Each structure stands twice: as structure tokens, then as C-alpha cells.
Amino acid sequence: MELYSLTIHQLKEFLHKKEVSVLEVTRAYLERIKEVEPQIDALITITEEFALQRAKEADEKIKNGEAKDLTGIPVIIKDNISTEGIRTTCSSKMLENYVPPYNATVVERLLEEGAVILGKSNLDEFAMGSSTENSAFKTTKNPWDLSRVPGGSSGGSAAAVAADEAAFALGSDTGGSIRQPASLCGVVGMKPTYGLVSRYGLVAFASSLDQIGPFTKDVTDCAIVLNTIIGHDPMDSTSLKIDKPDYTSYLKEDIKGLKIGVAKEFFSTGIEKGVKETVQKAIKVFEDLGADIIDISIPYLEYALPAYYIIASAEASSNLARYDGIRYGHIAKNYEDLIDMYMTGRSEGFGKEVKRRIMLGTYALSSGYYDAYYKKALKVRTLIKNDFERAFEKCDVIVGPTSPTVAFKIGERTNDPLAMYLADIYTVSVNIAGLPGISLPCGLSDGLPVGLQVIGKHFDEGRIINVAYAFEQANKFNAKPQAIGGAR
């Protein structure tokens, strides 16, 4: 057994019993990072010095009997989440040297508990993409097969957890950016209900869809991390005031009589045979556990993807306008006047996909097109919300595949944006409706992980955890990525 292969709850026990120090754990992880990073390329920044210093502080805490759940636990943060004094690049040339003067609320909460930040992870530029190939700096590889993508946009965080570079990681999910890479990398990833986790400090892509969530090695860890990161934040008006539940109290195997909805629409467009069969087997597991499987329908699901690309791009076109090529580092070398400075700086600083979405979003909001695109997309959004509401009258959770395919080859879809967009076909509707969703590994197809998505009602994360945990216990996923010296 290696320290870096442990889960949070296992590490916690060792640490609290003082069988191992945080410093030892941290060093083990830093070693592991050095060992596998050359193959995986999950990280943009490694914060070794900061981590070692934090480790010493955490050891003090434990010594003083002040240890909390995440004290001394190593974590990696997606590089679009603001970290004070630590470069936050969004994998964009535009922010290559941007060092924020403040911490995101989630980072603040992790640090308060004594978590140890090991580094910042790679992503598709400004979280736009499904493979991390849109990073301006590097392409992260899937630990299960280095010739394949880890998914995206939080591909760095997913791969890092899969490759044991951290006990857990934070990502952000706008249209599937946590769940899809979790699925492709065989780890647990959750997008909480919109408004459950503060967005303060998450560099905005699409403000009405973005949500921060955890990548963990199992469902128990997911519950532990959620406990720390959720809760109202006075700095985020869209974060809701709710009583903080203890999600670990939902870690129960009993789901007898629970109504599990299965929508045929989640098994249609472009689904791989292997994925379909693996997910169907998973549904059988639920049946065996005594749950009622109920057929439901989300009729407007096929419009979710186009509506998503209009709403998300519209908001992005506005959110990304502040990168004017004057502040934040990247400045054009040659320009004629102010407008030229803006245009040259932005042309150089942004990658292809980001520019594509800025143009798409700007177009959708332009006078004369607003009603036909943006307004219509908002109507579709309402229809999809209604669909889910109706579905949830019949069932407690909805299950299906997270991604229609297993991890695809690097370069396979880079020249076909529409094929790339289809990677999110089963995840975007959850963001559009603001619902919580988890992806957990449910088996392998051709030796690559398949993710099972469990979608719940608003603020019903507890129930999702219950269902996911019951499944995990009944259907142990013991496979390990073999592409990297998988000493786990």
C-alpha cells in the first residue's frame, strides 16, 4: 500500500491516529507527482513550497487536537479557481502570469480546514472544451491510456485523482466539465445543485451554469468534501441559504423501494454499445438492491445541447470581455490605437475554441438576433426544467450514462467541434436545469472506464450520495489505470 493511493477517509484515520504525519503524506504525493507528471501532464503549477509549509501547519493542528476532516489532506485545484498568491491561468495565454490577490471562497474553506494544496490543474482554456486539448499549455493524458484524452474541461483534476497525484481535486462544471472527465478517468465527480457551492473566485465561463464540485476516489470522500465546500456565501448572491446537511449521514446501502427513473432519451444519440451495456448492467444492480426502476421521459432533451451552446456562449462573450489585452499580463506588442490594441491583444491571447464561443455568443446577443437565439434558448431552458420537474414527480433520482462514449483518442475530435460538443450531450441538461448530478465508475468497456450518472432533485445531494454509495458497495470498482506504473 502506498500513501498516495489512499482515500480521504483512510488517510484521515492514519493522520488522526498519528500513524503518519501530514509532512510524510505530502512528500509522498509530491514524489508521486514527480513520477507521473511527465506522462500525465495534469498540472500547470506545482506548489511544493506552499504545500510543505501547509503540511507543517496541519501537523500542528493535529498535534493540538484541532484536526478536521480535511486537515492534512492533499488537494489539487482546477486552474480557473482563484488562489491568492498562486498563478491562476485558466490555461489561457491571456492569464499566463496572472497571480490573484484573493482566494476563492471554496479555497478559503479548504485552507481553513487545513487541506494541503499541491498544485493547480490543467483545463480546456477558460473551461471551454471536453478533452483539455484546448489548453494553451499542454494536453493532459488519460491515465488509463496515454493516447486518449481525460475528458474536460476539468481533465487535469480528473486525471490527477485517477493517477493518485492528489487525494481529491476541485473542478468546475458548466455543461459536464466535472462529470464527463470523471467518467472518462474512472473517478467520482459531482456537480452540486446550482447555488449550493459559492462561485466566488471561480473565473466565470457561463455564470448561470457554472458550479464548483469535487473529484474523489470514492463516494464517501465525495460526501466528506461536500460537507466542507457547501454553504451560503455573502459574496455570491446566487448561493442559497440552506441548512448544511451532513452528507456522510447518507452513506447507507439501503435503497429498497427507491424510485429510479430511466429516460430513453439518455440512450439515444451516438451512444457506444459498450457504454450502453455497462450502464444497463448497472441499472440491473439497482433492481437487485430492491429499487423500483421507472421509465420516464425528458422530451426536450434533444434541444438541451443547442440551448446550452447559445446561453453559455452568450454569457461567456460578456464574461471574457474584461480580458482586454491591457491588464492581466498579455499585451499586444504592436498596435496602432486603443481598438487595435484590444483586437490584437485578444486575437493573440485567446485560443481558437474561446474565440469561436465569443463570436457565437456575441452573435446570439446582437440586436436583431437576440429573440431568435438567446431568448429562444431561455425558453428551451424553461421547457427542460419543466421536463425534469415532471419526471421527478414519478421518481427520486434519474440514472443513465454520463458520456455516450469512453475516452476518445487525442486529436480525434479537435477538428470537428460538433463531435466534441456531443461529448456533453448527457450532461448539459443537468446544468440547464440547475440540478445536482454525480458520475461514478460502473465498469469497463474495452478496458476503459464507463461512468454512471445519477441526477437528483434540487438540493437533493444527500439522496444522490445514498444511491451512489449503495451502488458502489454492491458493485466494487476495483480496476486501476494501467498506463502509469499503477502501484495502488
Partner 1 sequence: MKYEAVIGLEVHAELLTESKIFCGCSTKFGSEPNTQVCPVCLGLPGTLPVLNKKVVEYAVRAGLALNCTIANFSKMDRKNYFYPDLPKAYQISQYDLPLCSNGYLEIEIDGQTKKIGIKRIHIEEDAGKLLHENTDGSLVDYNRAGVPLIEIVSEPDISTPEEAYQYLTKLKSILEYTEVSDCKMQEGSLRVDTNVSIRPVGSKELGTKIELKNLNSFKAVQKALEYEIKRQIKVLEESGTIIQETRRWNESKGITEPMRTKEEAHDYRYFPEPDLVPIVVTEEWKEEIRQSLPEMPHHKRERFISEYGLPEYDAKIITSSKKMADFFEKCVAEYYSPKTVSNWLMGEFSRLLNETGKEIDEVPVTPQMLVKLLKLIDNGVISGSIAKTVFEEMFGTGKEPEVIVEEKGLKQIANENELREIIKKVIDENPKSVEDYKNGKEKAMGFLVGQVMKATKGKANPQLTNQILKEELSK
Tell me which residues are annotated as active site: 78, 153, 177
Calculate ∠ Cα 399-404-407, nearest 5°: 120
Choosing from 324, 385, 486, 488, the residue that interacts with partner 1 (CB under 8 A) is 324
Choosing from 8, 15, 22, 104, the residue that interacts with partner 1 (CB under 8 A) is 104
- Choice between 94 and 468, CB closer to partner 1: 94
Q: Are strands 448-456 and 437-445 parallel, antiparallel or unpaired?
A: antiparallel
What is the spatial distance between Cα 223 and Cα 139, in angstroms, rounded to a whole number?
A: 30
Q: Which of residues 215-244 bind partner 1 (CB under 8 A)?
A: 234-238
Q: How far is the CB of 430 from partner 1 (least distance, A)?
A: 17
Site for partner 1 contains 100 (CB under 8 A): yes
| Residue 345 dihedral angles phi and psi, to the nearest 5° | -60, -45
Q: How far is the CB of 353 from partner 1 (least distance, A)?
A: 18
Other Cβ atoms within 10 Å of 159 Cβ, number: 36
- Choice between 199 and 413, CB closer to partner 1: 199
- Choice between 191 and 217, CB closer to partner 1: 191
Q: How far is the CB of 431 from partner 1 (least distance, A)?
A: 12
Choosing from 5, 39, 208, 414, the residue that interacts with partner 1 (CB under 8 A) is 208
Site for partner 1 contains 318 (CB under 8 A): yes
Q: Which of residues 30-89 bind partner 1 (CB under 8 A)?
A: 80-82, 88
Cell 493535529 found at: 62
Site for partner 1 contains 174 (CB under 8 A): no
What is the spatial distance between Cα 428 and Cα 430, in angstroms, rounded to a whole number?
A: 5
Q: Which of residues 371-390 bind partner 1 (CB under 8 A)?
A: 374
Choosing from 15, 28, 86, 90, the residue that interacts with partner 1 (CB under 8 A) is 90
Q: How far is the CB of 37 from partner 1 (least distance, A)?
A: 26
Q: Which of residues 335-374 bind partner 1 (CB under 8 A)?
A: 338, 342, 362, 365-367, 370, 374
33: which 3 cell numbers? 507527482
- H helix or E strand, kind and range, residue 172: strand 168-172
Other Cβ atoms within 10 Å of 207 Cβ, number: 15
What is the spatial distance between Cα 346 and Cα 332, in angstroms, rounded to a whole number?
A: 8
What is the spatial distance between Cα 223 and Cα 106, in angstroms, rounded to a whole number?
A: 15
Instruction: Tell me the Cα Rg of the chain.
Output: 21
Q: How far is the CB of 346 from partner 1 (least distance, A)?
A: 10
| Residue 52 dihedral angles phi and psi, to the nearest 5° | -65, -40
Q: Are strands 397-401 and 259-263 parallel, antiparallel or unpaired?
A: parallel
Site for partner 1 contains 157 (CB under 8 A): no
Q: Distance of CA 219 to CAs 399, 462, 464, Å? A: 16, 11, 10
What is the spatial distance between Cα 467 and Cα 294, in angstroms, rounded to a whole number?
A: 15
Q: How far is the CB of 366 from partner 1 (least distance, A)?
A: 6
Please give the DSSP secondary-structure letter assigned to residue 39.
Answer: H
- Choice between 240 and 444, CB closer to partner 1: 240
Q: Where does this chain bind partner 1 (CB under 8 A)?
A: 80-82, 88, 90, 95, 98, 100-102, 104, 199-204, 206-208, 234-238, 314-315, 317-318, 321-322, 324, 326, 328, 338, 342, 362, 365-367, 370, 374
